[in-house]
Structure 1
Amino acid sequence: MLLRDPISLQNEWVRLEPLAPDHAADLAVAADGLEHAWYTLVPAPDAIGSEIRDRLALREDGSSNPWAVRRLDTGRAVGMTSYLNIDQPNRRVEIGSTWLAVSAQRTAVNTAAKRLLLGHAFEECDAIAVEFRTHWHNRQSREAIARLGAKQDGVLRNHRIGAEGTLRDTVVFSILPAEWPAVRLGLDARLARD
């Protein structure tokens, strides 16, 4: 199976559905009320349609594979996530461009979604590395990535220029196949407590 193949993934908590225009209404509600911190990109509710179109264009060129995150307890789509920077010949991928509604934060939703994405990458797509990248100043994201069991590889200094002309230092984390069994057990144990 290829990392770019659109596929639905499901466990007890969430279903990751290939992103589609019909997710827009739920996602606009999910984005409403999110604090748009300067160091992260979350679409405004009225920009969800264009965000979906942009992510679908990246799917078409093979560099990304986006999903809507649907909570099974409510039936509502509560955010987005993607495989990014897909490097199929080298079986490498990044998990990112993830955002969740306030109501889904600090619940099992993010852990359950990451469990599905990591399991699919390592067990179905034979990935040799799964990366996570975040802004140096996004401490919440850095802590969440570390809790998943990813190891920090380093910091790409002055990696990008932000919308306001600020320079972004990008923190890179990864999980390797030999680490996946322990990471999987950790994620499963966290989900069993939720």
Structure 2
Amino acid sequence: MTFAATPTLKNDRVTLETLRPEHCGHLAVAAETDDLWRTWYTHIPAPTDIDDEIERRLSLQKEGRMAPWAIIDGASGRAVGMTTYCNLDPANRRLEIGSTWLSRASQGTGVNAAAKLLLLTRAFEELGCIAVEFRAHWHNHQSRAAIEKLGAKQDGVLRNHTVFENGTVRDTVVFSVIDNEWPTVKFALSDRVNREAS
């Protein structure tokens, strides 16, 4: 089974479906609201660039380098963000869950946890991964806290890792969940998703 495939993944809170040009309208609104796309320490496309970003991700999928999904809110049926499997490494049974962003209105609502539960379940139980990685900008404290709340552990910090378009240099914080941790992480994350849905 290819790591770059994007089957529909669904639970009571969210649906992850293959990213498509048809998602552009909803995603543009999600990025535009409260100027989310202007967040300096992450890469969220400008509303006018959503179509290009969709095409970029789909091109990487055709090359077998990324698995891009749209995050569909179960309550509204609207696309509220994007997520991917990236840094695909089937030979070593590893991948990264990344290039994720969510509308401001969806943050803190349980959408992220529900989506991550779907992605982690597929990675460990269908693709046979032995490790799943997450990365965040040192200054993105919200994402770092959200990753830790999922049950991932910090592996380390890649200092002076990436030069951003605005001239700043990103220190990248690396987290992971490994296969022998997955049963406990799944139990805790499932419990959290169920509590947030009630």
Alignment TM-score, normalising by the size of structure 1: 0.97
CA RMSD in angstroms, aligned pairs only: 0.9
**Cα distance in 1, alignment partners of residues 80 and 163 from structure 2:** 29
**Cα distance in 1, alignment partners of residues 23 and 76 from structure 2:** 15
In structure 2, the residue matched to 1:12 is 12
Amino acid at match of 1:122: F
In structure 1, the residue matched to 2:126 is 124
**Cα distance in 2, alignment partners of residues 7 and 113 from structure 1:** 13
**Cα distance in 2, alignment partners of residues 172 and 6 from structure 1:** 24
In structure 2, the residue matched to 1:110 is 112
User: Residue 191 of structure 1: SS of its match in structure 2?
Assistant: helix
**Cα distance in 2, alignment partners of residues 149 and 62 from structure 1:** 28
**Cα distance in 2, alignment partners of residues 167 and 31 from structure 1:** 23
Specify every segment of 5 or more residues in structure 2 that has no aligned partner in the other structure, as ranges. none
**Cα distance in 1, alignment partners of residues 189 and 55 from structure 2:** 32
In structure 1, the residue matched to 2:23 is 23
In structure 1, the residue matched to 2:70 is 68
Q: In terms of mean alpha carbon deviation, does 147-156 or 19-28 score higher?
A: 19-28
Count of aligned positions: 194
Of 54, 57, 82, which aligns to 2:56? Answer: 54
**Cα distance in 2, alignment partners of residues 101 and 67 from structure 1:** 15
**Cα distance in 2, alignment partners of residues 156 and 100 from structure 1:** 25
In structure 1, the residue matched to 2:195 is 193
Which aligned segments of 4 or more residues in structure 1 are displaced greater than 3 angstroms?
none
Amino acid at match of 2:113: T
User: Residue 179 of structure 1: SS of its match in structure 2?
Assistant: helix
**Cα distance in 2, alignment partners of residues 141 and 68 from structure 1:** 19
Shift of 1:6: 2.1
1:15-70 Cα offsets, whole Å, 9 max, x none, are: 10011111111111111224322111111111110110111111111111000000
**Cα distance in 1, alignment partners of residues 120 and 87 from structure 2:** 15
User: Residue 6 of structure 2: SS of its match in structure 1?
Assistant: coil
User: Residue 5 of structure 1: SS of its match in structure 2?
Assistant: coil
In structure 2, the residue matched to 1:153 is 155
Q: Compare the two structures and name the one with the higher helix fraction.
A: 2
Amino acid at match of 1:60: K
In structure 2, the residue matched to 1:45 is 47
User: Residue 139 of structure 2: SS of its match in structure 1?
Assistant: coil
Alignment TM-score, normalising by the size of structure 2: 0.95
